[in-house]
Amino acid sequence: KAGVTQTPRYLIKTRGQQVTLSCSPISGHRSVSWYQQTPGQGLQFLFEYFSETQRNKGNFPGRFSGRQFSNSRSEMNVSTLELGDSALYLCASSLAREGAAGYTFGSGTRLTVV
């Protein structure tokens, strides 16, 4: 079966701009979680969506937002980009009943803010 697809793979943006990242989960998976990965901070949880509803949210400023569509595809948006937002953004999908043990991660979007 097709894996989790994240687009784009690489992105370079200028400070102050906004960016939208996309995640297509595995077919049938209704839960999508987003993580930010940086060398110093590891994997930091951003938010989780299930059936178009945000079910859980991490400790990130309001500039980070997301949404999920009826086909379970998810997008995350970062507004007013800062240099510190440079990171690998990972999306993971799962069947709701499997929870974290059923996470399948995408390859990520590498965002560089200059």
Partner 1 sequence: GQQLNQSPQSMFIQEGEDVSMNCTSSSIFNTWLWYKQDPGEGPVLLIALYKAGELTSNGRLTAQFGITRKDSFLNISASIPSDVGIYFCAGGLKTSYDKVIFGPGTSLSVIP
What residue ranges bind partner 1 (CB under 8 A)? 4, 33, 35, 42-43, 45, 48, 50, 55-56, 90, 92, 99-101, 103-108
Minimum CB separation from partner 1 for residue 114, in Å? 21
Minimum CB separation from partner 1 for residue 98, in Å? 9
Closer Cβ to partner 1, 77 or 107, answer by number: 107
Question: CA-to-CA distance for 3 and 25, rounded, in angstroms?
Answer: 7
Closer Cβ to partner 1, 80 or 107, answer by number: 107
DSSP 28-65: T--EEEEEEEETTTEEEEEEEEETTEEEEE-S--TTEE
> Do residues 95 and 101 touch, judged by C-beta distance below 8 A?
no
- Closest listed residue to residue 106, CA positions, set 22, 45, 49: 22
Closer Cβ to partner 1, 83 or 101, answer by number: 101
Minimum CB separation from partner 1 for residue 16, in Å? 28
Residue with tokens 């595809």, as numbered in its chain: 73
